[in-house]
Every structure is written in structure tokens, then in C-alpha cells.
Structure 1
């Protein structure tokens, strides 16, 4: 099934990597893709929780940091982690519209 998914190292999950239009896949391929995506999608909230833990740690560190340059680095890291969470939520919500259109 990895033919249809590729690891996104930034987000830490596999994302769809479909090479043709959805309708060009067989019913069996579509079903397999959707089942695999649903498994991946189910792990997204856990991935978000992991990232939130990192954000909380960095915010605690930032609260204690006196070095301006390090404070800037921490703010940048927190911003990137927050961006990752936003992207993960977008991928999580994507499935809601896909499964509404595709019937098993």
C-alpha cells in the first residue's frame, strides 16, 4: 500500500501520493487507499498531542530564558511546531469530505 502514500518527515505521518485521478483507480484500489488513510488519520490526534508536549516544553524553557537570541530561537521553534499542528488538522479534516463523497 505504500505505493499510494509517502512519509512526510516534517509532519511525521504518511500522506497520500496519488499519481492519477481518483476515478482512474479500481474500486479495490480506492477501498485499500481509504482504509489505509483511515488508519493514518486515526493516528493524527496522537501526533498532534506529541507536538503539543514539545510546544509546552519549549514554552516553559522560554519562560526561564534570559538570552535574547535563544528566546528568538525558541519562539521560532514554537511557531514551526504550531504550523505543523495546523497542517495536521487540515489533513485530519480532509478525510471528512472524502468519505462523504465515496461510498464503500
Structure 2
């Protein structure tokens, strides 16, 4: 098997690792990859909601914070989580691209 799914700590999901070009996989392998990815992909909206709750909590902390250094740290943490959400949105769209390539 020349593909795997590796857990990404930052994203909180497994992401595909493909050793070869998509077209080089057999039809069965592509189906297996897409099936596993669809299972993982289905968890992305809930993962985004979890991160959004953390952002909201940090924004509430920021509203109450008077210490400049702590405010900077909170802003940085919020920005990092927002970046994670953006990356999750990108991964969420990967399935559509793979299906088009598979059926195209």
C-alpha cells in the first residue's frame, strides 16, 4: 500500500499521505482512499466548531485583559486557531477535487 493517513496534531484530524500521483493508483485503491477520506472529512465541521468555541473563549478573555503581554499572547492564540480553521476548510474541499479527478 503506497498511501496512508497520518494524524495531524494541529488540525486534529488524519490527513492523507500519497506516495504516488493520483492517476497511478488503481481504481480500488482510489476508492479505498476516498472512502477513508470521506469518513475523516465528515468530522471536519465538528472540529471547526470546537476550535471556534476556543476562539470565542479567548476573545472573552481578551475583552477583560488589561495586561498588554497577555493580550498579545491571546491575540496570537486566536490567530493560530483561525489559521487552523482556514486549513481545515481547505482540507474539506480536497474531496471534491479528488472526485473530479477520479471521474474526469
TM above 0.5: yes
Task: State the shift of 1:64 in Å.
Answer: 0.5
> Which structure 1 segments of 5+ residues have no match?
none
Corresponding position of 2:102 = 102
Task: Report the Cα distance in structure 2 between the residues aligned to 1:101 and 1:87, rounded to whole angstroms.
Answer: 21
Q: Secondary structure at the match of 1:66?
A: coil
Moved over 3 A (4+): none
Q: Match for residue 69 of structure 1?
A: 69
Aligned to 2:6: 6
Q: Could you list the runs of 5+ residues in structure 2 that have no partner in the other structure? A: none
- Distance in 1 (CA, whole Å) between partners of 2:12 and 2:78 is 17
* Whole-angstrom CA distance in 2 between matches of 1:17 and 1:71: 37
Identify which range, 91-100 or 79-88, moves more after superposition: 91-100
1:100 deviation in Å? Answer: 2.3
Query: 61-70 or 24-33, which moves further after superposition?
Result: 24-33
Match of 2:46 in 1: 46
| Equivalent position SS for 2:6 | strand
Q: Residues 101 and 23 from structure 1, CA distance in 2 versus in 1: closer, same or farther, beyond 3 angstroms? A: closer
Q: TM-score, normalised by structure 1?
A: 0.92
Report the counterpart of residue 86 of structure 2 in structure 1. 86
